[in-house]
Amino acid sequence: EAQVTQNPRYLITVTGKKLTVTCSQNMNHEYMSWYRQDPGLGLRQIYYSMNVEVTDKGDVPEGYKVSRKEKRNFPLILESPSPNQTSLYFCASSLSGGNEQFFGPGTRLTVL
């Protein structure tokens, strides 16, 4: 089944404790992206990747890191999480940059 998977789905952590949210797609898509969803703000793009080893900042990259060492995976790293990063995170992928994106199930992160 073609899909985007994220892990974990739910995470509660404390300020400053490094964490990684994994994202994987099995559709051989070149483009992958991370978003955060907050009430009243819609989805905002954090980082995106046009292809392996190519990443770029979205609208809200501060406090996040990403890497794209292989085509299928695009982990999101929070080196020192803070409470304002409490949010619902979605990973997405598409065939290329201009195409429709397929979204993962989301990761609900709470930073205490």
Partner 1 sequence: AQSVSQHNHHVILSEAASLELGCNYSYGGTVNLFWYVQYPGQHLQLLLKYFSGDPLVKGIKGFEAEFIKSKFSFNLRKPSVQWSDTAEYFCAVILYNQGGKLIFGQGTELSVKP
Binding positions for partner 1, rule: CB under 8 A: 31, 33, 35, 40-45, 48, 50, 56, 58-59, 90, 92, 94, 96-106
At a CB cut-off of 8 Å and minimum separation 6, what does 104 contact?
3, 4, 5, 6, 23, 90, 91, 92
- Count how many residues are written for the chain: 112
- Min separation Cβ 16 and partner 1, Å: 29
Q: Which is nearer to partner 1, 25 or 33 (CB)?
A: 33
- Min separation Cβ 17 and partner 1, Å: 26
Distance CA(69)–CA(11), nearest Å, equals 24
- Min separation Cβ 91 and partner 1, Å: 10
- Min separation Cβ 14 and partner 1, Å: 26
3-state secondary structure of 110: strand
Q: Which is nearer to partner 1, 34 or 75 (CB)?
A: 34
CB atoms closer than 10 angstroms to residue 105? 12
